[in-house]
Chains A and B, each alone.
Chain A
Amino acid sequence: MKREGEIRISSGCAISGIFCRDGRRISGEAIRKSIAVMHNRSNGLGGGFAAYGIYPQYRDYFALHIFYDSQEAREETERFLDKRFDIINLSKIPTRQIPAISDAPLIWRYFVSPLPHMLQDSQLDEDEYTSRSMIRINDSITGAYVVSCGKDMGVFKAVGYPEDVADFYRIEEYEGYSWTAHGRYPTNTPGWWAGSHPFSLLDLTVVHNGEISSYDANRRAVEMYGYSCNLLTDTEVITYILDYLTRKQGLTLKESSEVIAAPFWTTIAIKDEEERKRLSYLRKMFSSFLITGPFSILVGFSGGMMALNDRLKLRSLVAAEKGSTVYFSSEEAAIRVIEESPDRIRAPRGGEAVIVSLDKESRC
């Protein structure tokens, strides 16, 4: 497989998201319908979905979705997991054989919790313990790729058009309060299963339309903090940057958005003094995490979702609301197909993070 930068293929992509602020769990049918409207923005080389609230019966366990190229990779990974985690359930992820999706890897799901004595010996919290273990698998077990590893959530992705990927994974059988979707038209790298979107670490997922021109600078910066970019796609690095800024540095999502899509110095210069100081601090302190080049992203996490454009708004993004449901999409049509008359519809500005979260009473 050629690495990022070694091959160029020309461009597009579609993203879509649905978030129920009241915690109502809806089937994957709606997100499939939405992303399918934007069929022409993808080219069949990748599609995927992230869903939150889909495993309430295993809410307290990390849900691992893993791709394997071979049985050997599976056996090696399971030996690795056995040593570190209590596996309370494991199974193949149910799929539907359809002609549009072929060359599937082995797709497994595990519900696990860190072995208490191992966790204690590591002196890490369970999130860090788990994320380090997952990075180890991606980095050192040939043919094993952790697709998602958060609690009460999961990523379903493949090579194909997103609507076909939905059918393949029987997405309509899952119910979640938050959904994101991606239709891929890879630009710099070949389309492959683990390289489809969403990318994720713990409960954080990212779908991305665009192309990061600062990829290598960002990759070098984030790899200094123990992350490892193995999935040959620029979006992977956004996921690790956001995990680093929010989970390790303790920044809020809004602050993180002001790091990765920092305003221009000329724009900062006309703000009032306090805001100028704050924005300058974020730019200077985390300068290696500024992401340049066009992007519109949807970031999913437990209990919320964030939509963000690059500061020049070089990719399209539309937001809408109807009652307690929030919609995001690359095109307005993809929202109208599932909600004909939203209460409000608007285009967020470049660098303006739109963050939604569950209403207080529906948090668990």
Chain B
Amino acid sequence: MKVLDIRKDGLEDIGKQGIGEVTITGCLGERYIGCGMKDGVLHVVGTPGNALASYLDGGTVYVDGNAQDAAADTMNAGLLAVKGSAGDALAYGMRGGRVYILGDAGYRAGVHMKAYEEKKSILVIGGRSGSFLGEYLAGGIIIVLGLGYEGRNITGYFCGNGMYAGTIYLRTDKTPPNLSDKLIRRSVDKKEKEDILRPIISDFASAFSIPAEKCLEGSFIAIEADKSKSYSQLYAAV
């Protein structure tokens, strides 16, 4: 595996390394690391800048520390795994692939994530998220585990506001504060937990080498759009 220092080698030269496994060290706010990466594995050491792994298109990006704002923006495929926390606007408009954050996520995580045919975006947050989680969600799955925040609010305000498809799973039995009346909150049964959550959460746990059982402990609730209440008149009378 090649090890490169972003301060000496520069992001452009690192991009020319081609397929394979590369570690870049010394990151300090450099934007667009792993942007549009189609294949290969990138290990990031330090604090990468905004728009990390934006438009990620099949490659894998591991981050040792924290990510800043707008990570995985409009990501299409691949994996972004962050051992620390992520800033605001994580996985905005994500269309496919997996984003795993072991720590917390900032405001507006997973806004307008989508799914289409075989494409299904998956966002897992190990800690808690800020307000506006999954706002305008159009598809895909968001899971917030709230590890270390047991018994507390793990989503902030306005969770899932304006969402019309997809599912938000929360490892808690508390309904998020201010939940819109256009959303439904239901408990997750054993079958759904085994069939849908276990495979995703096991994969999440293995990415960080932590025990999956701990992440699956306790009850989950799901937030979904209430199909009987349409948004067609929210902004304009039809």
Chain A positions near chain B (C-beta within 8 angstroms): 37-38, 40, 264, 266-267, 270, 312-313, 316, 318, 331-334, 336-337, 345, 347, 349-350
Q: Considering only CB atoms, which chain B residue lies closest to A335 in the complex?
A: B47
10 other A-B residue contacts (CB within 8 Å) besides A316-B88, A349-B107, A349-B156: A264-B157, A331-B50, A332-B29, A332-B47, A333-B28, A333-B49, A333-B68, A337-B29, A347-B88, A347-B130
Interface size for chain B: under 10, 10 to 19, 20 to 34, or 35 or more residues? 20 to 34
Contact present for B131 and A333 (CB under 8 Å): no
Total residue contacts A-B, CB cutoff 8 A: 61
Q: Which residue in B27, B50, B130, B178 is a CB contact (below 8 Å) of A313?
A: B130
Contact string against A for B residues 194-207, beta-carbon threshold 8 Å, 1 for contact and 0 otherwise: 00000000000000
A38 to B31, CA, bound (A): 10
* Contact call A332/B66, Cβ cutoff below 8 A: yes
Residue of A whose beta carbon sits closest to that of B28: A333
Asked if B69 is an interface residue, CB under 8 A from chain A, the answer is yes
**Chain B stretch 58-80: residues in CB contact (< 8 A) with chain A:** 66, 68-69
Q: In the complex, which residues of chain A have a beta carbon less than 8 angstroms from the beta carbon of B20?
A: none
Chain B positions near chain A (C-beta within 8 angstroms): 27-29, 31, 46-47, 49-50, 66, 68-69, 85, 87-88, 104, 106-107, 130-132, 156-157, 177-178
Please give, as numbers and ranges, the residues of chain A lying within 8 Å of B104 by CB-CB distance. Answer: 347
Give A270 to B156 CA distance when docked, in angstroms.
Answer: 13
Q: Is the CB of B131 within 8 A of A350?
A: yes
Task: Determine the distance from Cα of A207 to Cα of B23 in the docked complex, in whole angstroms.
Answer: 37
A97 and B184 CA atoms in complex are apart in Å by 64
Q: Which A residues are in CB contact (< 8 Å) with B107?
A: 312-313, 349-350
Q: Give every chain B residue within 8 A of A331 (Cβ-Cβ).
A: 29, 49-50, 68-69
Please state if B177 and A40 are interface contacts (CB–CB under 8 Å): no
Q: Which residue of B lies closest to A329 (CB)?
A: B29
Residues of A close to B46: CB separation below 8 A: 336
| Cβ contact of A38, chosen from B29, B69, B178, cutoff 8 A | B29
Given A313-B107, A350-B107, A267 and B178 contact (CB-CB distance below 8 Å)? yes
Please report the C-alpha to C-alpha distance between residue A345 and residue B27 in the assembled complex, in whole angstroms: 17
* B66: nearest chain-A partner, CB-CB: A332
Task: Decide if B88 touches A313 in the complex (CB within 8 Å).
Answer: yes
Residues of chain B within 8 A (CB-CB) of A264 are: 157
Can you identify 15 A-B contacts, CB atoms within 8 angstroms? Answer: A37-B28, A264-B157, A266-B178, A267-B178, A313-B88, A313-B106, A331-B49, A331-B50, A333-B47, A336-B28, A336-B47, A337-B28, A347-B85, A347-B87, A349-B107
Smallest CB-CB A-B distances: 4 pairs:
A333-B29, A313-B107, A333-B47, A333-B28
Asked whether A334 lies within 8 Å of B29 as measured between CB atoms, the reply is yes
Knowing A267-B178, A316-B88, A332-B47, say if A347 contacts B29 (CB, 8 Å): no
Q: Which residues on A sit within 8 Å (CB–CB) of B131?
A: 312-313, 349-350
Q: Which residues of B contact A350 (CB under 8 A)?
A: 107, 130-131
Q: Which of B47, B50, B106, B130 has the most CB of A within 10 A?
A: B47
Q: How far is the CA of A77 from the CA of B130 in the complex (A)?
A: 50
Q: For A347, give its contact among B27, B28, B47, B106 (CB under 8 Å).
A: B106
